[in-house]
Structure 1
């Protein structure tokens, strides 16, 4: 009498038959989640793909297909709130900077991409060109804010004049009355 064989379970992946009659390859990633890696017409083809994927995973060439889908803003906030090696004051400062420069679109007159909004941008969409454009806009916006702040204080002579008069009074210097 022929011996019955039981189906052997793979530890890292599986092949299943879909309703359409194709074979779907699924692989367990390093994070423990099972992910689909395409469908194939024959079981042999699916087994070859699964074997290749298992070999890649073993050689650390495995690529998580869901990696990089998280938005930049959410990633930075999660990273900042879960760090244990920084002080609360540093965390609060970094979160304020995230509010100011990541969570708000930054627009510039010469923006190649228009307004750059990193808050909703997926991590995988970050490119050197987008990062350079964002950095250029941050520097330009910072410079514009600093100049506006300086002008507000320089071009407000009454406030400066009041400070000078207060300084002079403290030192006993008499000054002529102003209008």
Structure 2
């Protein structure tokens, strides 16, 4: 029997292997012949694959398979080095920790082109079985997603494997909204100067790191103004001064009584405008856990309250301001670039307001003045 003649093709080639399967070779945009990443059971399957590859190249969607041979670990390191200059120090430390402890041990050895959604799904399930919190799992997944999206953007892979993955839901925890009177009791129960620090959390809505980072030059007593342009945070045990969250520098008005008390306190500090307002006994920057245990928690207990966090004071401030002056004003006070963040995480309905709205609605419907009863 004469040997079977090869089918002539205008693009690429298909040949039958001794195993009976078919191998495809095709020219890339650079003219180099490359084999398909798999063999095919029939010549028809091989021809279909070859046709699709040709269309992919003609439409500019082709990716050199060699590019996808880089590992997740190698590309992750390159990606982190490229984005680090734009990240806050705490974010850099968080990303580095997640890559080293969560991504590389499980997925780092995979070639970019070989990582599939099922592997990512299994990785997420593995973290859940290990008892990681939903927040930590979502953070790790978000970093991996950014690494893989960068690989797509740079033409190393066609699509990201971080798709269709179900992540654990975040528990819905409501902040404890205090009344202004309750917050004032905590301030009165704290020793100086920590009473002023707590007052800035409750009555100016500062983040704890913003309050820790305040300097003498940030306070203008005569104009009753406060400038928030720095944040103090811990990154892998080290204290780092950086810009506020979302880089939102802002100037806030101070209550007259608070400005007066701050003015009195400033007279006892050095004249250096860079002098920190609040430090520990050794003159060093405050650390959150130490400060909360030594000064905040005792003040809460002395005020007859319990289960209150410093963050609750900020959330309470946002609620008071939003209730009386609107969400946009609250967003400015809290340093949010988007008011939706204020309503989603901070401002909460004030107790009793719904009943007041119902009474007002009755007046609107009847045309009677609810206040006068006429």
TM range (shorter): 0.3 to 0.5
Q: TM-score, normalization: structure 1?
A: 0.44
Q: TM-score, normalization: structure 2?
A: 0.25
